[in-house]
Amino acid sequence: MWASLFRKKTIDKIISDQLEVEKLAGHSMIRNLGVRDLTFMGVAAIIGASIFSAIGQASANGGPAVSLLFVFTALACMFTAFCYARFAATVPISGSAYTYAYTSLGEMMAWILGWNLLLEYAISNVAVAISWSKYFVDLLEGLGFHVPEFLTMDYLSAQRAHVAALQALEAGQKLEQMSVNVREGFVAFNSAPVFFGWHFVANIPALLITAAITYLVYIGIKETKNMNNVLVILKLAVIAIVVGVGAFYVQVENWTPFAPNGISGVLKSVAAVCFAYIGFDSISTTAEECKNPQRDIPKAMMWALIICTVLYVMVTLVLTGIVPSGELAGIEDPLAFMFMKVNLPGVAGVVAASAVIALTSALLVYQMGQPRIWMTMSRDGLLPKAFSRIHPKYRTPSFSTIMTGFLVGIPALFANLEEVINLSSIGTLFAFVLVCGGVLILDLDPENQKKSKFKIPYINAKYYVGLSLVLALYLSLPTLSAWQQWFSGIWSGAEKADHVIMTCFFLIWVVIAFFSVTHNLSLIPVLGLLVNMYLMTQMGAMNWERFLYWCLAGLLIYFGYSYRKSKLNV
């Protein structure tokens, strides 16, 4: 029983199964994507909600130093991208990280990873839809069309704002003195129609854009590709305007202090910054629609990461150079706010319009990725057959696409942006950890290394991992008293859970250092594993608790249905 949970599909078996699928009439997909199209899809996925929304709160927490966090996270993604590229060049199938885990870690871990890819694609798309709604409503407001507040936000945000506003009013504060978010939430809650004592507050624009994007993805990859390329070109043009115009208004003194809230303030933005890079791996979900996946997917991943990191750093520095970071707290449209600050309302209007375009392209790519993962899981028997159904005319996974539309559209009506971002970020980092670990396990067999057309540059991790562990422990706990405080914190104190999480991370680091010495592991996958795990430790105990519940729910589904239906049982 236990051994069967970690049963694997060999690379040769996965490829032969794929060839069998492609021979069946009506089951194959259209190979229409080149390296440029894939790079644009990566840029579309990465440059989305974060650069127009989350970057504001991240800068408020960490100041200009958040630009370095973008670079640090990009390095983690770059290490991970090497691992994705290694797998994509070996197993050119649409399942992305799920398929990669199946070949290296076994079926149960593959299922858990596939379950968590829901967080990366479908659930994170809820956040993108919510951000799109905010910018779209603001754009309509600028054009003179007012949408009632109770139709533009989620119930939880409105209810919280209502409570906060009542407390402020009781304290003698006037409504117009409160933040924009509190005022809008208060108005939404009080103006909403009431049914059986429940205030109807729902984000209708988020539902409508999800339905429209789902339809576009449903009717074909060519249409999706062409639309995405146009949207990305417009997005990059606007970001160039933001940086080019904004650079003339930068006040260098706003960059001092560089990290106003210290390293803790910078790390407080880990979830938002990680969320900014969610989707770079979405390129790998289109492997069956690529002209040459083994060559083009690795190239496109690297180009997308480099382009987007440069843009994130430049935008962050311009933003914090114009607006003191402390003024960005709670601002949902920081780039538009930045230009209003320097009396350029015309540019602010362009930014608001471009945000709608940028978020539309991000929605498009995420909405395309999730159905293809479900399709692959269904082919393996872990999901019902309907999920692998290919539309006879459009050659897209039809049922999976429709289900993704429901999974994104309905929660977008009622979900809270911050909660969604946090859960999506930790789920994505977990997927990255498993992909990096999977490469290390896969490459223990020399035969697997020969089958890949992409080679990760090999650097022996034998000495680097252990020495870096000693250095990290010294910097974290330089004195005996620091060690005593640390161990006492594990058993008591408000941050007990955070201490336990960090202690587990260091213990895992010790294990990895041991295997690096005994098995001469490759340094780049090891660095990807360690950096992504470290970023996970910074997500907070509450997010870890929710993540563990999410994984438990996935295991219940696996043992209740997927394990029995798996084709490996046949």
Are 412 and 498 in the same domain? no
Question: Please, what's the b/e burial string for 178-192 (b: 16 or more CB within 10 A of its CB; e: otherwise)?
Answer: beebbbbbbbbbeeb
The H or E element that residue 194 is part of is strand 194-195
Are 341 and 218 in the same domain? yes
pTM score: 0.80
Task: Report the sign of the C-alpha dihedral through residues 406, 407, 413, 414, in that order.
Answer: positive
pLDDT digits (tens, 9 = 90+) for 339-384: 888 888 777 777 777 778 878 888 888 888 888 888 888 888 889 9
Number of domains comprising the chain: 3
Specify the pLDDT at position 450: 66
Q: Are 46 and 308 in contact (CB under 8 A)?
A: yes
Are 404 and 298 in the same domain? yes
Amino acid at 567: K
Q: Alpha-carbon distance 413 to 510, whole Å?
A: 45
Domain end, chosen from 422, 450, 478, is at 450
CA distance readout (Å), 42 to 97, 215, 236, 284, 515:
16, 21, 13, 10, 34
Are 19 and 128 in the same domain? yes
Are 197 and 210 in the same domain? no
Specify the pLDDT at position 417: 65
> Bridge partners of 194?
199
Residue 459: inside a domain: no
Specify the pLDDT at position 50: 67
Number of other CB atoms surrounding residue 567 within 10 Å: 12
Residue 455: inside a domain: no
Q: Are 319 and 38 in contact (CB under 8 A)?
A: no
In SS3 terms, 429-451 reads as: HHHHHHHHHHHHHHCCCHHHHHC
Given its phi and psi angles, is residue 172 left (phi above 0), alpha (psi -120 to 50 degrees) or beta?
left
Q: Are 354 and 218 in contact (CB under 8 A)?
A: no
Specify the pLDDT at position 301: 85
pLDDT digits (tens, 9 = 90+) for 330-349: 676 788 778 888 888 777 77
Are 87 and 136 in the same domain? yes
Are 104 and 6 in the same domain? yes
Specify the pLDDT at position 526: 93
Domain end, chosen from 426, 450, 474, is at 450
Apex 112 CA angle, 108 and 114, nearest 5: 110
Residue 319: inside a domain: yes
The H or E element that residue 29 is part of is none
- Residue recorded with tokens 């996946």: 293
Query: Which residue segment(s) compose the domain that 247 sits in?
Result: 2-144+205-450
Are 371 and 356 in the same domain? yes
3-state helix, strand, coil in the chain (%, to 5): 80, 0, 20
Q: Alpha-carbon distance 352 to 545, whole Å?
A: 36
Residue 419: inside a domain: yes
CATH number at residue 67: 1.20.1740.10
Specify the pLDDT at position 157: 81
CA 187, chain centre distance (Å): 32
Specify the pLDDT at position 282: 77
Q: Alpha-carbon distance 68 to 309, whole Å?
A: 10
Are 223 and 306 in the same domain? yes
Rounded to a whole number of angstroms, the distance between the first and last alpha carbons of the chain is 15
Amino acid at 73: T
Residue 130: inside a domain: yes
Residue 283: inside a domain: yes
| Residues 6 or more apart whose Cβ sits within 8 Å of residue 333 | 52, 53, 56, 134, 135, 138, 351, 352, 355
Residue 149: inside a domain: no
Given its phi and psi angles, is residue 110 left (phi above 0), alpha (psi -120 to 50 degrees) or beta?
alpha
User: In a 3-state reduction of DSSP, which class is residue 175?
Assistant: helix
Are 244 and 387 in the same domain? yes
Specify the pLDDT at position 510: 93
Domain end, chosen from 425, 450, 475, is at 450
The size of the chain, in residues, is 570
> Bridge partners of 195?
198
* Strand duo 194-195 + 198-199: pairing: antiparallel
Are 279 and 354 in the same domain? yes
- Quote the crossing angle between the two packed helices 496-519 and 523-537, to the nearest 10°: 170
Residue 299: inside a domain: yes
Low pLDDT (below 50) residues in the chain: 1, 25
Are 47 and 61 in the same domain? yes
Number of other CB atoms surrounding residue 409 within 10 Å: 21
Q: Are 403 and 387 in contact (CB under 8 A)?
A: yes
